[in-house]
Amino acid sequence: MTPVLQAKDIVKHYGTVEALRGASFEVGAGEVVALIGDNGAGKSTLVKCLSGAEIPDSGTILIEGTPVALDSPVAARRLGIETVYQDLAVAPELDPAANLFLGREIRRKGLLGRLGVLDKAEMRRKAAAEFTRLGVTLQSIDVPISALSGGQRQSVAVARSVVWASKVVFMDEPTAALGVVQREKVLDVIRRVRDEGMAVVLISHNMPEVLSVSDRVEVLRLGRRVARFTAAEATLEDLVGAMTGALTQENAA
């Protein structure tokens, strides 16, 4: 089956740092792929390249087999790709509903809407419904995001990505700041959108979490893909071995 999103031989430098040295990656519709690797392996850089936040120096990105130019986050979003960035991109001064609709605000009907007046009540109502559906519990959706806990903020960012994505969701360490209950909720959301046919890419350093939620695992090391596993067949030792370089796989790149 053609992957919904595929990256081939992506190279990305930051000055003299070679963050990606010919990295490849793929994810299919209706699967959760964990992208793992040691600190600095290039995971976040790859996610940024595949969501339009960074432009690769070279390499090919294909959506459903067709090469695409993801030259901005807006371009990626138009193609159905949403991202929860590791360095969270929420607007701290706005409330959760406004964050959910950031860049996609609903306007009032008629002249007011044409003048740019937003329908805040409608956005608040829809946002509340989505937060409920996704199991995100907030005491109030009327407070600025900056007044929420780090974990609640992360949950809002996750909700925003899955509400708007049509093909692929990237989540760069979405559970890193979460307590046990919130973490399980995010993992449930991941499973649910996967079951609806979404391609989900999860970056995590938590190996039990990786093995419990993902269908496949792709391993980055020093800016290249060094191993690929079916989660059901992989052990913790396999994953750690591939990340550290102790275990090598032919043909993984």
Ligand X SMILES: Nc1ncnc2c1ncn2[C@@H]1O[C@H](COP(=O)(O)OP(=O)(O)OP(=O)(O)O)[C@@H](O)[C@H]1O
Applying CB under 6 A, the residues found at the interface with ligand X are 14, 17, 19, 37, 39-45, 86
Neighbouring C-alpha atoms within 13 Å toward the C-beta of 42: 28
Contacts of 169 (CB under 8 A, 6+ apart): 81, 82, 83, 84, 161, 162, 193, 198, 199, 200, 201
Binding-site partner at residue 42 among Mg ion, ligand X, none, CB < 5 to 8 Å by type: ligand X
Residue 107, classed as helix, strand or coil, is strand
Nearer to ligand X, 45 or 175 (CB): 45
Which residue's CB atom is positioned nearest to Mg ion? 44
Nearer to ligand X, 86 or 206 (CB): 86
Binding-site partner at residue 206 among ligand X, Mg ion, none, CB < 5 to 8 Å by type: none
Nearer to ligand X, 10 or 200 (CB): 10
Nearer to ligand X, 14 or 105 (CB): 14
Shortest reach from residue 134's CB to Mg ion, in Å: 24
Shortest reach from residue 37's CB to Mg ion, in Å: 9
Is residue 198 within 8 A of residue 162, CB to CB? The reply is yes
Site membership for Mg ion, residue 99 (CB under 5 A): no
Site membership for Mg ion, residue 44 (CB under 5 A): yes
Binding-site partner at residue 204 among Mg ion, ligand X, none, CB < 5 to 8 Å by type: none
Nearer to ligand X, 54 or 95 (CB): 54
- Phi/psi class of residue 5: alpha, beta or left (left: φ > 0; alpha: ψ in -120 to 50)? beta
What are the structure tokens assigned to 160, written together? 């925003």
Shortest reach from residue 117's CB to Mg ion, in Å: 39
- Cα gap 108→95, rounded to integer Å: 19
Q: Contact letters (x/-) for Mg ion, 67-86, by CB under 5 A? A: -------------------x
List, in sequence order, the alpha helices (H) in the chain.
43-50, 73-78, 96-100, 110-114, 120-133, 150-164, 180-195, 207-213, 236-244
The residues binding Mg ion (CB under 5 A) are 43-44, 86
